[in-house]
Amino acid sequence: ARVVSKFQKGRAFLIGDAAHITPPFVGQGLCAGLRDAANLGWKLAWVIHGRAAPQILDTYDTERRQHAADMIALATLMGKLIMPSNAIKAFFTHGLVRLLRSLPIIGAWIDDLKIKPENRFHDGLLVKGKSTSALVRGSHFPQALLRHADGAYAWSDDALGDHLSLVGFGIDPATLLTADQLARWQAVGGRCFQLCYRGQALCRSVGANVWEDINGEMLPSLAPIGWLAVVRPDHSIITDGPSVDAATLIDASIDLLSAPKTPPTAVTD
Confidence of residue 84 (pLDDT cuts 50, 70, 90): confident
Tell me the HSE value of 258 on the side-chain side, using a 13 A CA sphere: 11
3-state SS assignment for residue 136: coil
Q: 194, 177, 189: which is closest to 234 by C-alpha?
A: 189
Range of the domain at 234: 145-257
Is 196 inside a domain boundary?
yes
Rounded distance, CA 93 to CA 87, Å? Answer: 10
Rounded distance, CA 69 to CA 196, Å? Answer: 38
Let me know whether 167 and 82 are in one domain.
no
pLDDT of 114 above 80: no
Is 169 inside a domain boundary?
yes
Domain with residue 11: its CATH number is: 3.50.50.60
* Start-to-end Cα distance in the chain: 43
- The helix-helix angle for 104-111 and 87-102 (nearest 10°) equals 110
Q: Determine the pLDDT at residue 199.
A: 84
Is 62 inside a domain boundary?
yes
Let me know whether 99 and 174 are in one domain.
no
Q: For all residues of the chain together, what is the average pLDDT?
A: 90
Mean pLDDT over 156-180 rounds to: 96
Is 127 inside a domain boundary?
no
Is 190 inside a domain boundary?
yes
Percent above pLDDT 70 for the chain: 94
Total count of domains within the chain? 2
Q: 124, 63, 116, 87: which is closest to 257 by C-alpha?
A: 124
Q: Determine the pLDDT at residue 106.
A: 84
Let me know whether 173 and 72 are in one domain.
no
Q: 166, 225, 164: which is closest to 200 by C-alpha?
A: 225
Full DSSP string of 170-213:
SS-GGGGS-HHHHHHHHHTTEEEEEEEETT-GGGGS--TTEEEE
Q: Determine the pLDDT at residue 132.
A: 87
Let me know whether 107 and 157 are in one domain.
no
